[in-house]
Amino acid sequence: MSQSTFRMNICATLMIAVLALVGGRCPSAAAISAKDYGSIQEAIDANPGKMIEVPEGFYEISEKIRISGTGGGLYGYGRIFQTNPEAAILEIEHATGVRIKDLTFTRPEGKMESEASGIFCWDNVGCVLDGVRILNNRSRSGSIEVRDCLNFTIRNCEVINYKRIAIDDRTGPDEPNYGYAFHCIDGTGIVVRSSGGTLIQNNRIVERNLFPTKEMKEKYQLGTLTEGKYPSKPGRLAGSAFRENYVNNWHQGSAMIVTSPKETHHTNIIGNYLENAAQGVDMHSDFITCSNNTINHCFIGLKMTHGCRNLIVTSNLVTHADKWGILMNPGAASHYAAEKTDDQEALPANVDAGTIIANNIVTDFGYGDEYWNWGGKSPEANGSYAIALFEGQFEENPPLRDILITGNIVYNTGRDSVLVDGKPEVQPPRYRYAVYAGPWGEGSEPKASAPDPDDLHFSNNIFHPGVKGISNIELTP
């Protein structure tokens, strides 16, 4: 062995030993620690563009932590408590390449109900939330909210207990279709608005505090109309709300929502676990890949509306849904393309079309917490469908077009027998049809925008019949 080879082997051995001592990382300059400053914010301000360690421990704040600029961020196993319910815990604005890793953001007992997001992200490029925990940020705002961002990543994060008792106020000039306000459960785990290239991967969003039970409904008068910010005025979608002084959709919010259908695009929603949501994944956007997610307990599992074009919805598992497992329909915000006029700019089309719904499983339907509020009100599971493909909400909404439904399973759990008071019992399905396509409300006259079955293509599915059969239409390839 030559002397040069011997020296190289000695150097390699020493490097391996050093890497073992530092946990496999290359040695670097000493970490910048928030504990060396008066506050986390002081550490950020004194070290722009650098990563700040927030070591294990408790950090109480009363103002939001703010990060902007290029590079840098926060990491560590510290727990940050926001005592001000009017303020976000962390705000990332006008930033590029900021990273937040492994920290816990929460609110203390007695101040968990908030008017603000946990982490609010606006006008950012290439930022990452990784391994972050947001606990007890109980707000109508998202626990994590991403707005006007590009290539934002949310992965391996955990959102626990994000809902609160609230008032859903649909009065005023911005809400012409409803015109009323009502008591509700509300809150959303992850919100993405007006953003492109977002990755939402391997996150866990779970609600363990508020459940949509009969007792909860009575305690908080959920669904009962109340005064809003503006005077009540029946809108186009008010339905029977004013006559009955009540609406049954009092479980609001979603585990995650990707919205702003005319601006948001190219979103990947992959491998997330969502439990006890009102709506599991709520999509109002184009170019989405939604795959390998598990939605456990909800009244809607996967929802696509208000202009969803070219979506790939595949290999998702929806269990314990109580109204619709998979829903797609043209919402009120959908429209055809329009020329420029004196009153508005030219509008590109915002349609619900060109989507693949493949290899998903909907099972244990009707065995969630709020079946009593939906199909459970009727022995025929009225209005409950494992897969629902509706017409538009208004005459002017374009119809659903070119939807491929293939390789899916709708599984009737009751046919195998379920335990009732500790004894096995075969039960009828808790959905009316495995697939329903057509007007809102069976027997209703279709609007001009009713879906044309020729544009709905079915193949290689396993659909257990509902109480009225497999489908209300012929399922053609």
Q: What is the pTM of this model?
A: 0.91
Could you tell me if residue 17 is inside a domain?
A: no
Could you tell me if residue 19 is inside a domain?
A: no
Q: What is the pLDDT, as a whole number, of residue 48?
A: 97
Neighbouring CB atoms inside 10 A of 60's CB total 11
- SS3 (DSSP) at 106: strand
How would residue 130 be classed by pLDDT, with cut points 50, 70 and 90? very high
Q: What is the pLDDT, as a whole number, of residue 19?
A: 43
User: Which residue has 């560590």 as its token pair?
Assistant: 76
Q: What is the pLDDT, as a whole number, of residue 27?
A: 46
Whether pLDDT at 133 is above 70? yes
Q: Are 122 and 93 in contact (CB under 8 A)?
A: yes
Could you tell me if residue 438 is inside a domain?
A: yes
Could you tell me if residue 56 is inside a domain?
A: no
* Residues 6+ positions from 443 with CB-CB distance below 8 Å: none
What CATH number is associated with residue 439? 2.160.20
Cα dist. 186→113, 138, 206, 239, 260 in Å? 11, 9, 14, 21, 19
Q: What is the pLDDT, as a whole number, of residue 174?
A: 86
Question: For the chain, how many structural domains are there in total?
Answer: 1
The closest of 281, 280, 277 to 251, measured between CA atoms, is 277
CA distance 266 to 272: 17
Could you tell me if residue 35 is inside a domain?
A: no
Which has the minimum average pLDDT: 170-179, 206-215, 246-255, 307-316?
Answer: 170-179
Could you tell me if residue 9 is inside a domain?
A: no
Q: What is the mean pLDDT of residues 182-187?
A: 97
Q: Are 191 and 145 in contact (CB under 8 A)?
A: yes
How would residue 476 be classed by pLDDT, with cut points 50, 70 and 90? confident
How would residue 180 be classed by pLDDT, with cut points 50, 70 and 90? very high
Residue-range definition of the domain harbouring residue 362: 68-463
Q: Are 301 and 323 in contact (CB under 8 A)?
A: no
Could you tell me if residue 395 is inside a domain?
A: yes
Q: What is the pLDDT, as a whole number, of residue 421?
A: 86
Residue 388 phi, psi dihedral angles, 5° rounding:
-120, 125
Could you tell me if residue 272 is inside a domain?
A: yes
Whether pLDDT at 21 is above 70? no
How would residue 136 be classed by pLDDT, with cut points 50, 70 and 90? very high
Query: What average pLDDT does the structure give for the chain?
Result: 92
Q: Give the residue with greater pLDDT, 398 vs 25.
A: 398
- Which H helix or E strand runs over 476? none
Q: Which residues pair with 224 in a beta bridge?
A: 246
The closest of 237, 235, 288 to 260, measured between CA atoms, is 288
Angle at 28 between CA 23 and CA 33, to 5 degrees: 90
Neighbouring CB atoms inside 10 A of 162's CB total 31
| Cα dihedral 35/41/47/48 (nearest 10) | 150
Q: What is the pLDDT, as a whole number, of residue 446?
A: 73
Whether pLDDT at 7 is above 50? no
CA distance 376 to 387: 17
Q: Which residues pair with 153 in a beta bridge?
A: 128, 199
Q: Residue 417: CA atoms inside 13 Å, Cβ hemisphere, count?
A: 6
Whether pLDDT at 283 is above 50? yes
Please write the tens of the pLDDT for every residue from 68-110. Answer: 999 999 999 999 999 999 999 999 999 999 999 999 999 999 9
Whether pLDDT at 428 is above 70? yes
